[in-house]
Amino acid sequence: MYNQIDSNKRRTWLLIIIFTAVILFIGWFIGYYFNYGYGTLVIAAVFSVVMSLFSYYGGDQVALWSAKAQEIKEEDNTYVYHLVENLCITAGIPLPKIYLMPEQAINAFATGRDPAHASIALTVGAVNKLSKLELEGVIAHELSHIKNYDIRLMTIVIVLVGIISLLANWFLRGSLFGRGRSDNDRGNPALLIIGIILILLSPLVAQLIKLAISRRREYLADASGALLTRYPEGLAGALEKIANDQSVMSSASSATAHLYIANPLKNSRRLFANAFSTHPPVEDRISKLKEMTV
C-alpha cells in the first residue's frame, strides 16, 4: 500500500511539472512570435485564477445541488453517520457534512476545498446494496480524497488548463490578424513550425494531462482508503458491484462526473473512452487493490 501511495504521488507531481513546462514554452513562444514579452502569460494566469475562484469556493454546493443531495444528521441515519464518524476519527480529519443522493445506482463523491470545509455524498443505492465492509471502503476512498487535498489539486490543474487554452486561443487570433513577426524577423523556420504545431495541439495535451492527473488521484485514493480500513477487499468488492450495477444516475453530468468514485455516465464501451475518461478502468483498480498487502 505504501508503495502504491508513493508511486501515485510521484507520478502526479511529474505530470504537474510537465504541465508547467508546456505553459512556459507556450508563453515564451508567444512572446517571441508577437514581440509581447511575458505580459500575455501573466494576463492569462490572472484571468484563469479569477475564473477558478468561484469553482474553488462555491463549486461544492453546486455539485451537491445538481446531485439533489440532502444533508443528514445522526438521528436521520445512524448507520451511515457512525461509519463516516468512525473513519474520520481513524483518519484524523474533521467530520464532513454527510449527504444522501436519491439514486439507486451505487456511487459516491466527496467535495470541498479542505478537510474543514468538506462534504461526502452517498447514493441510497450504495447504502442499500453494499455490505458494511464494502461501504466502509467507499467512504474511506472519499475521505482520502479530502485528506489528500485532491479538490485543491484539481483546482490548480483546472487553472493550468485554462491558461493553456487562453494562450492557444490568443495565439490563433493574433495569427489570423497578422500580428506576428515579419517574414524577415522570424528566425529559424523549423522552430516556428514546431512551435505553431505544439500550440495548436496544446489544448488537447492539456486535457489529456488533466485526465491523467485525475486518474492518478483515483489510484491514490484507492490505496489511501485501503490503508485507512486495512481491508483492500472491501473497496474491491464495492467496485465489482459498481461495475455490474445496471442502474443509471439521472442527476450525473459530464461537469460533475470526475467527482464520483466511478464514472456515473456508463460510457466505458465507447471508442477511446478510457483515454478521455476521468477514471481509470474499474477492472484495473480492482486488480491493484487485490494485489495490495497490509
Catalytic residue numbers read 142
Please compute, for residue 86, the number of CA atoms within 13 A of its CA located in the half-sphere on the CB side: 12
Asked if 230 and 83 touch (Cβ cutoff 8 Å), the reply is no
User: Contacts by 47-52 with C-beta closer than 8 Å and gap 24+?
Assistant: 47/162, 47/166, 48/159, 48/160, 48/162, 48/163, 48/166, 49/159, 51/162, 52/155, 52/158, 52/159, 52/162
Question: CA–CA separation, 120 vs 110, rounded Å?
Answer: 4
Question: CA–CA separation, 29 vs 32, rounded Å?
Answer: 5
